[in-house]
Each structure stands twice: as structure tokens, then as C-alpha cells.
């Protein structure tokens, strides 16, 4: 293989510059620091031996291979065969009798005696010095040899400034020392600890990485305070009218959240707040109330949901509550085309549309807001990190553009309210959302009944259907949730239609409806209202009903292939029952054999009714990356540290960040340049 330049190595490994290679850390190591006398090596050992080639030949039968016989000069004549099944003519030429070779590999008993198959080998002169550190094995890509990577990394280490830009915590080594211990550990290093990333050197790097994240988050928070936004104080008049029309009063937790959000909105800086609350805790109402002052002030509000169905549900709710106040709500549906779409876009652009509800299509090119003052993002956890960033940028662009028109402050930004039913556990919130204020609705509206959850093997399906028959004839209603087919919407639809046909055939005395995502909105709405009116006993549905559907008399839910669903989704689905006075049941029907992960998911959902507990368990099960949806966007948030496992380092970094920015602004800048050379944005999602 031709020698690669450091630039080439860096590029192939996905780095922008060779300097980044100092943080390309080894996966493991091998010991080339000593030569073991051949006679001391036992079969099964991996060792480095040295000897002289006695004989070397290329055989063609029984298969093509190169066999060399080597005599170990140190052990006084012990012999070893080594075989190469793939080799180049140049290698044959190297292995002439008399050549001295160093071989590293596993020794095993062979046909002729002890042998090594495909060891790492090289031809050396007598007394060639041995390396005095362990040899790193780096993460590699095809077409890049370990040798090339080692050379490039060593070069980068020699050139880089490895000094400590900030004071080092007492219990951790210096940066240069830590990198030395990781790239070139001494022969007596604890390999197990190194490989499990549990040494002082590893902890130093994890700490550094977490510190960079905390510093960038603190900087983002400061920047936000330096930004301007339209203050939206609320006199409460519209809110009072909206609330007066409702058949219920707000819970204390809703009141508290509302108060916190209003406080933020009244300030001249952009709000960045997450509203957390379990499924059914009533977040939508709080959102509807806080958009009122923006509308009263003549400004626009964008309300965004992760899917078309959720957007529609939100639109219907907002419309129901705001229209009586004389406030029009526009829905930017995906199905919107031609003239209707043009008109909506024009209304958004000239400000006549005050509230626009939609998916992330709201923030795609071609949609320009006139004077956007507040963005509400529902089910925020379902958006990828990249989408959240795009949203942010769009907000900035929008306000910059507006500012030119209004010739006000050039960096004015909309306020942001995000909502999530997947609570973010403290350690994660601290790590990823330090620039986010959080409100929690920690109580459900009164009158909800607890749900009993059961798991049941799909081989008892006939029994379930029979019970369903009796249950529905006793006056209650039920949902039948069809299996999730993630790969294809078409297959998903077919699964739903099959289940529907089967249940219609098996339950002739019941009225069985079907609702799925491919249906036209009017058709969907017709089925839903028939179900709500009690005209249907049983509603066969896809995850369309995951959110927003509210039928108190429906108290039984059967979920087919429950093992395919994620925890958050199961929890959302189950939240459709338990809304009335009836005792509610959720039957999780599964198809065995279950994978270990699926078994754990079902157990968690069976054992817990509380969304916070489920989210914590979900995090344990999937790890922070997937939990936060980082995988989805292809972005890795942290390379080395894990905010949950390394919570102690995270706390240390968080506690240090503000003081370091205060006392060592230059050092903090250098630290950030080392860890986040290509911008800070990733951490600000
Ligand atoms: P989520 O927090 O999951 O988005 P929703 O906002 O959809 O929950 O609210 C669930 C249901 O509870 C809706 O039908 C809503 O109208 C109703 N609701 C909201 N607040 C209250 C309340 N304080 N008392 C009774 N019902 C309420
Ligand atoms: Mg909701």
C-alpha cells in the first residue's frame, strides 16, 4: 500500500484536519515490547517470537499457501512453521533462508509442529531494538493501514500543543500525559482497564469532552441573554375567555407551568423552555394559552408537530379553542396543493395568518413568516437533533429578515416553547439541555382511572377475541391496535386491513371500524366521530390514534405485536384508555420468541404507568444517543463520555464551567477550539 500523507489519513478517517488525529484513540493494543523464547510459548498463547528462516516454499496443493520454517535462535533451536494463505511475490522474496523475522500471533499445534497462521511479521536485522511502549490498534477504515494511521497520529501528537489551557482538576492527569498513556501506554499498563476506558487518562479525556460541552452550553445561554426578542406580557383577558368556555378547570400543575412560561415571555430575551408532562397531562391547553399574548400583539405563532396526524390533531384543538375568540388558525397540511397552498403561504408571508400549524414543512424553504414571535414544538423528542437545529436557524433567519423591515434590533429571535411527553432524565437534561429551562406538569387531570396492563402470548388470540365480544356487548368500547410495520406504510396498511377483515368476520354482532393514516381526513374524522358517538363497538387502528384521540367510554386496548413498538409509543398508545370512569385494561399481545430487549420493554410498560419512570428505564435500555434521537440525525453528540455512566465527571464539569469562563476566558476558548474545532452548534439542539 502506498504511504498516505497525514492529510489523507485524516480525511479518510473523517476528520477535517490532521491536528484532529490526536483524539483518534486506540481501540486496543498489542505487546511488541518483548520477544518470548519459543520454548516458553504454549499452544493458544499470543506472543511475539523471533527467528531465522530455514526454509520457505510456496505450495499449490492441497491449497495454495506459503510455508516458512523458522528456527528460534534464542531458545536454542526450537522450530516453528508459519503459513500465509494470501501473500505477494514481494513477501516470498523477503522470506529467503537466513532472513531474520519477528512474528506476532497465536501459536497453535499444526500438522508439522507448532505454527502461526497469518501472524503479523516483519523482517529485521539482528538486535533491532524493540518498541518500549505498547502498540496501538486504531479504529481504521478500508484502504488505510495501521502503520499509516500510527505514523499520522504520532506526527500529529508531535506537532500539537498539548499543554493544559485550563487548570486541571486535582484527581486527573495533564492532557499531554493522558494522551501519552492512551496512544503509547507503557508495557506494564493495565490493558483491561484501558480497553474498558476506565483509567485516569480516559477519565481526563471524558472530563475534557464534557467540559467542552458545558462551556459551549454556558456560552449559548449567555448569547441568548444577549439576544433580543419581542416581550409578550399577558393581561390574561383572552385567556380568561378561553378558559371560561371549557368544561373543566386547569390543574394546579398546568397553572404553575403557565405562570413560568408567561414569566419568560414577558422578558425581552428569547425564551428557550421545555414543557414536560406525561401523556394526557394537558400540555396542549397550556400551549394554546401562551400563544394568546403574541396574537393580541399582532404577531405570528408557528406550531409544529413531528407527524402529519399530530399536526392535524393540534390544528383541530387550536381551532376549537381559538376560533371562538375570533382568531383564525391555518393548517399547512402536506395535502395542501395549488391555490389553497399558495394562499396559505401568502397569508403566512404577509402576516394575515397568525397561527400556522404544521409539520417541519413549516420551516422549509418557501415558507416565510412576516413577524414570527413564538414557535411551539410539540412532541419535541420525536424530532431529530438536525431538525431542531434547522428550526432554530430558520427562526433566526426569519427574525433577521423581519428586523430589516421593522428596522428594529437585528438579532431579535422568536421565543421557543418545546413540549415533550418523554421526560428527559436529569443527567441528560444537564448534559444536552443546559441552555434550556424546564417546566413540568406533574399531575394528571382528575377523574382518570388507573389502567391495568397485561401481556399475553399471541397464541391466545382466539381467546382474546372471544372476550372482546363479551366486553363490547356489555356496553364498553375498545381499540385494536394493528402491528407496526416500520419498513413500509403499504405493508402497515395491509396489516390493518387484514386485522379489520378478520375481526369483522369473527365478531358479526359488533360494529367494527377501521382508521389508518392513509385515509382522507374527512373519512378519518367520520370514523372517529362514529366511535366517539358510540356507534362503533370496536375501532381497529394504526398508530394514528397514538395522540389526541379522546374517547372516555373506550376502556380496553389490545395491541397486536406489542413487541415491535418502542416504549414511548406504547405509553402514548395506552394513554388512549383510562380516560373515563370505567376500569381500563391494556392487553399487550406479543409474538414469541421475544428478543431480550423486547422482553425488557414489555416488562417495563407492564410494571409502570408513570411516563417519567418509563423514560428513565428507556434511557437505561437504549443509551443516551438513541434516546435523544441523535442516531436518527447521524450526529454523535459525545464521542468518549457517557452522561449517565460518567455522571460524576459531568457534575464536576458543570460546576467548573461558569468559573472557568469567568477567570480563564482565553483558556476556555482554547479548550473549545481543541474539542469542538468546527463549531459549537451540535450541543445547542
Ligand atoms: P398531552 O399533555 O398528552 O398533550 P392533552 O393536551 O392532549 O395532553 O390533554 C389530554 C386531554 O385532557 C384533552 O382532552 C384535554 O382537553 C384534557 N384536559 C386538559 N386539561 C385538563 C384539565 N385541567 N382537566 C380536565 N381535562 C383536561
Ligand atoms: Mg400532546
Contacts of 87 (CB under 8 A, 6+ apart): 66
CATH topology of domain 451-608: Rossmann fold (3.40.50)
Alpha carbon distance 323, 317 (integer Å): 10
Q: 622 CA to middle of ligand 1, Å?
A: 29
Is the shortest distance between the CB of 283 and ligand 1 below 6 Å? Answer: yes
pLDDT at residue 392, rounded to an integer? 56
Q: How far is CA 406 from CA 119, 403, 657, in A?
A: 73, 5, 38
Q: 422 CA to middle of ligand 2, Å?
A: 11
Q: How far is CA 490 from CA 495, 496, 517, 518, in A?
A: 9, 10, 10, 9
Tell which one of 445, 446, 548 to mutate to probe ligand 1, the residue whose CB is within 8 A of the most ligand atoms: 445
Tell which one of 248, 275, 282, 615 to mutate to probe ligand 1, the residue whose CB is within 8 A of the most ligand atoms: 282
Q: 545 CA to middle of ligand 2, Å?
A: 12
Is the shortest distance between the CB of 578 and ligand 1 below 6 Å? Answer: no
Contact between 479 and 556 under an 8 Å Cβ cutoff? The reply is: yes
Pairing mode of beta strands 120-123, 100-106: antiparallel
Of all protein residues, whose CA lies closest to atom 14 belonging to ligand 1?
A: 550
Q: 451 CA to middle of ligand 1, Å?
A: 17
Alpha carbon distance 52, 47 (integer Å): 17
Is the shortest distance between the CB of 185 and ligand 1 below 6 Å? Answer: no
Alpha carbon distance 531, 537 (integer Å): 7
CA 671 to chain centre: 26
Name the residue among 381, 433, 428, 424 with its Cα closest to residue 644.
Answer: 428
Is the shortest distance between the CB of 251 and ligand 1 below 6 Å? Answer: yes
pLDDT at residue 550, rounded to an integer? 73
Tell which one of 285, 316, 548, 576 to mutate to probe ligand 1, the residue whose CB is within 8 A of the most ligand atoms: 285
Alpha carbon distance 279, 568 (integer Å): 10
Question: What are 354's three cell numbers?
Answer: 397568525
Nearest ligand to residue 575 Cα: 1
CA 654 to chain centre: 22
Is the shortest distance between the CB of 277 and ligand 1 below 6 Å? Answer: yes
Q: 338 CA to middle of ligand 2, Å?
A: 30
Alpha carbon distance 474, 196 (integer Å): 59
CATH 2.40.50.140 is right for the domain spanning 34-130:
yes
Nearest ligand to residue 548 Cα: 1
Task: Say if residue 501 is preceded by a cis peptide, omega within 30 of 0.
Answer: no
CA 43 to chain centre: 45
CATH topology of domain 237-441: Rossmann fold (3.40.50)
User: Which atom of ligand 1 is nearest to 254's Cα?
Assistant: 23
DSSP state of 382: G
Is the shortest distance between the CB of 285 and ligand 1 below 6 Å? Answer: yes
Is the shortest distance between the CB of 423 and ligand 1 below 6 Å? Answer: no
Query: What SS3 class is residue 356?
Result: strand
Alpha carbon distance 21, 247 (integer Å): 63
Alpha carbon distance 80, 468 (integer Å): 74
Mean pLDDT, 10 residues at a time, the chain of 685 residues: 79 88 93 90 90 92 90 82 89 90 91 87 90 92 88 95 92 95 94 91 95 85 83 93 95 97 94 88 96 93 83 89 93 81 88 89 78 88 61 50 37 84 67 74 85 94 94 93 79 88 94 88 82 93 72 91 89 86 92 90 92 82 63 56 85 91 94 76 39
Nearest ligand to residue 321 Cα: 1
Is the shortest distance between the CB of 284 and ligand 1 below 6 Å? Answer: yes
DSSP state of 104: E
Name the residue among 448, 446, 450, 445 with its Cα closest to residue 286.
Answer: 445
Is the shortest distance between the CB of 281 and ligand 1 below 6 Å? Answer: yes
Of all protein residues, whose CA lies closest to atom 19 belonging to ligand 1?
A: 282
Is the shortest distance between the CB of 275 and ligand 1 below 6 Å? Answer: no
Is the shortest distance between the CB of 147 and ligand 1 below 6 Å? Answer: no
- Residue 25 main-chain phi, psi, to 5 deg: -95, 150
Name the residue among 10, 1, 3, 4 with its Cα closest to residue 153.
Answer: 10
Contacts of 180 (CB under 8 A, 6+ apart): none
Nearest ligand to residue 571 Cα: 1
Q: 281 CA to middle of ligand 2, Å?
A: 8
Q: Is the pTM of this model over 0.85?
A: no
Question: What are 549's three cell numbers?
Answer: 384521540
User: Which atom of ligand 1 is nearest to 378's Cα?
Assistant: 4
User: Which atom of ligand 1 is nearest to 575's Cα?
Assistant: 3
Taken in order 519, 525, 526, 529, the sign of the CA dihedral is positive
Alpha carbon distance 43, 210 (integer Å): 45
pLDDT at residue 523, rounded to an integer? 84
In the chain, how many H helices and how many E strands? Answer: 23, 22
Is the shortest distance between the CB of 248 and ligand 1 below 6 Å? Answer: yes
Nearest ligand to residue 311 Cα: 2
Q: 547 CA to middle of ligand 2, Å?
A: 6
Q: 607 CA to middle of ligand 1, Å?
A: 24
Contact between 608 and 601 under an 8 Å Cβ cutoff? The reply is: no
Nearest ligand to residue 377 Cα: 2
Is the shortest distance between the CB of 250 and ligand 1 below 6 Å? Answer: yes
User: Which atom of ligand 1 is nearest to 250's Cα?
Assistant: 23
Alpha carbon distance 159, 51 (integer Å): 37
Of all protein residues, whose CA lies closest to atom 11 belonging to ligand 1?
A: 280
Is the shortest distance between the CB of 279 and ligand 1 below 6 Å? Answer: yes
Question: What are 171's three cell numbers?
Answer: 484527581
In the chain, CATH 3.40.50.300 sits at 237-441, 451-608
Of all protein residues, whose CA lies closest to atom 16 belonging to ligand 1?
A: 282
Is the shortest distance between the CB of 422 and ligand 1 below 6 Å? Answer: no
Q: List the beta bridge partners of residue 451.
A: 584
Q: 377 CA to middle of ligand 2, Å?
A: 10
Q: 569 CA to middle of ligand 2, Å?
A: 13
Alpha carbon distance 617, 621 (integer Å): 6
In the chain, CATH 2.40.50.140 sits at 34-130
Q: 282 CA to middle of ligand 1, Å?
A: 3
Q: What is the Cβ-side half-sphere exposure of residue 670, based on CA atoms within 13 angstroms?
A: 12
Q: 580 CA to middle of ligand 1, Å?
A: 13
**Number of residues written out for the chain:** 685
Tell me the DSSP string of 45-89.
-EEEEEEEEEEEEEE-SSS-EEEEEEEETTTTSEEEEEEESS--H
User: Which atom of ligand 1 is nearest to 284's Cα?
Assistant: 6
User: Which atom of ligand 1 is nearest to 441's Cα?
Assistant: 2
Four-point Cα dihedral 225, 230, 235, 239, nearest 10: -100
Name the residue among 657, 636, 530 with its Cα closest to residue 218.
Answer: 657
User: Which atom of ligand 1 is nearest to 447's Cα?
Assistant: 25
Question: What are 468's three cell numbers?
Answer: 372482546
Amino acid at each position: 500500500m502506498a504511504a498516505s500523507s497525514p492529510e489523507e489519513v485524516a480525511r479518510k478517517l473523517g476528520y477535517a484536519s490532521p491536528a484532529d488525529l490526536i483524539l483518534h484513540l486506540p481501540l486496543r493494543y498489542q505487546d511488541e515490547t518483548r520477544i518470548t523464547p519459543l520454548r516458553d510459548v504454549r499452544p493458544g498463547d499470543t506472543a511475539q517470537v523471533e527467528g531465522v528462516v530455514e526454509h520457505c516454499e510456496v505450495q499449490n496443493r492441497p491449497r495454495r499457501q506459503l510455508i516458512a520454517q523458522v528456527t528460534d535462535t534464542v531458545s536454542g533451536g526450537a522450530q516453528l512453521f508459519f503459513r500465509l494463505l494470501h501473500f505477494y511475490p514481494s513477501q516470498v522474496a523477503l522470506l529467503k533462508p537466513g532472513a531474520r523475522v519477528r512474528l506476532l500471533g497465536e501459536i497453535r499445534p499444526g500438522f508439522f509442529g507448532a505454527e502461526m497462521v497469518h501472524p503479523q511479521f516483519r523482517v529485521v536485522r539482528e538486535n533491532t531494538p524493540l518498541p518500549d511502549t505498547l502498540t496501538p490498534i486504531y479504529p481504521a477504515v478500508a484502504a488505510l493501514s495501521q502503520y499509516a494511521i500510527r505514523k499520522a497520529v504520532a506526527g500529529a501528537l508531535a506537532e500539537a500543543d498539548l499543554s493544559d489551557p485550563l487548570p486541571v482538576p486535582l484527581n486527573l492527569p495533564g492532557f499531554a500525559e493522558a494522551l501519552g498513556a492512551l496512544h503509547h501506554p507503557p508495557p506494564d499498563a493495565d490493558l483491561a482497564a484501558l480497553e474498558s476506558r476506565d483509567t485516569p487518562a480516559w477519565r481526563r479525556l471524558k472530563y475534557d469532552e464534557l467540559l467542552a460541552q458545558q462551556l459551549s452550553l454556558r456560552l449559548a445561554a449567555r448569547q441568548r441573554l444577549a439576544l433580543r426578542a419581542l416581550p409578550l406580557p399577558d393581561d390574561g383577558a383572552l385567556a380568561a375567555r378561553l378558559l371560561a368556555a371549557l368544561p373543566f378547570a386547569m390543574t394546579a400543575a398546568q397553572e404553575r407551568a403557565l405562570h413560568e412560561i408567561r414569566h419568560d415571555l414577558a422578558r425581552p430575551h428569547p425564551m428557550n423552555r421545555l414543557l414536560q408532562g406525561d401523556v394526557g397531562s394537558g400540555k396542549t391547553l397550556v400551549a394554546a394559552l401562551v400563544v394568546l399574548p403574541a396574537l393580541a400583539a399582532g404577531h405570528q405563532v408557528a406550531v409544529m408537530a413531528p407527524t402529519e396526524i399530530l399536526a392535524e390533531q393540534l390544528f383541530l384543538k387550536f381551532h376549537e379553542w381559538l376560533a371562538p375568540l375570533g382568531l383564525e388558525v391555518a393548517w399547512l397540511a402536506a395535502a395542501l396543493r395549488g391555490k389553497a397552498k399558495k394562499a396559505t403561504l401568502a397569508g403566512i408571508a404577509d402576516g394575515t395568518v397568525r397561527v400556522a400549524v404544521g409539520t417541519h414543512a413549516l420551516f422549509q424553504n418557501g415558507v416565510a413568516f412576516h413577524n414570527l414571535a413564538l414557535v411551539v414544538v410539540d412532541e419535541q423528542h420525536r424530532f431529530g437533533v438536525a431538525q431542531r437545529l434547522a428550526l432554530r436557524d430558520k427562526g433566526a433567519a426569519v427574525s433577521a429578515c423581519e428586523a430589516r423591515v421593522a428596522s428594529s434590533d437585528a438579532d431579535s429571535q422568536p421565543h421557543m416553547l418545546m413540549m415533550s411527553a418523554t421526560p428527559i432524565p436529569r443527567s441528560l437534561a444537564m448534559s444536552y439541555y443546559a441552555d434550556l429551562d424546564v417546566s413540568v406538569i406533574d399531575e394528571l387531570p382528575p377523574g382518570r382511572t388507573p389502567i391495568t396492563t397485561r401481556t399475553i402470548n399471541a397464541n391466545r388470540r382466539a381467546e382474546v377475541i372471544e372476550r372482546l365480544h363479551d366486553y363490547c356487548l356489555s356496553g364498553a368500547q375498545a381499540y385494536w391496535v394493528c402491528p407496526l410495520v416500520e419498513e413500509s406504510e403499504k405493508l402497515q396498511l395491509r396489516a390493518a386491513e387484514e386485522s379489520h377483515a378478520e375481526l369483522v368476520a369473527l365478531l358479526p354482532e359488533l360494529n367494527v371500524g377501521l382508521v389508518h393514516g392513509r385515509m382522507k381526513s374527512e373519512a378519518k374524522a367520520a370514523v372517529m366521530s362514529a366511535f366517539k358517538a358510540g356507534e362503533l363497538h370496536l375501532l381497529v387502528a394504526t398508530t394514528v390514534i397514538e395522540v389526541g384521540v379522546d374517547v372516555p367510554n373506550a376502556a380496553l386496548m389490545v395491541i397486536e405485536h406489542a413487541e415491535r413498538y418502542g416504549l414511548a409509543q406504547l405509553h402514548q398508545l395506552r394513554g388512549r384508555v383510562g380516560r373515563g370512569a370505567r376500569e381500563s385494561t391494556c392487553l399487550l399481545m406479543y409474538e414469541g420468541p421475544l428478543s431480550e430487549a423486547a422482553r425488557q420493554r414489555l416488562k417495563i410498560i407492564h410494571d409502570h404507568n408513570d411516563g417519567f419512570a418509563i423514560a428513565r428505564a428507556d434511557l437505561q435500555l437504549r443509551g443516551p444517543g438513541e434516546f435523544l434521537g441523535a442516531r436518527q440525525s447521524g450526529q454523535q453528540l459525545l464521542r468518549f463520555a457517557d452522561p449517565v455512566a460518567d455522571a460524576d465527571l459531568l457534575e464536576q464539569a458543570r460546576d467548573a464551567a461558569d468559573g472557568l469562563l469567568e477567570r480563564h476566558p482565553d483558556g476556555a476558548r482554547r479548550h473549545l477550539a481543541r474539542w469542538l474545532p468546527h463549531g459549537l452548534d451540535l450541543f445547542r439542539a
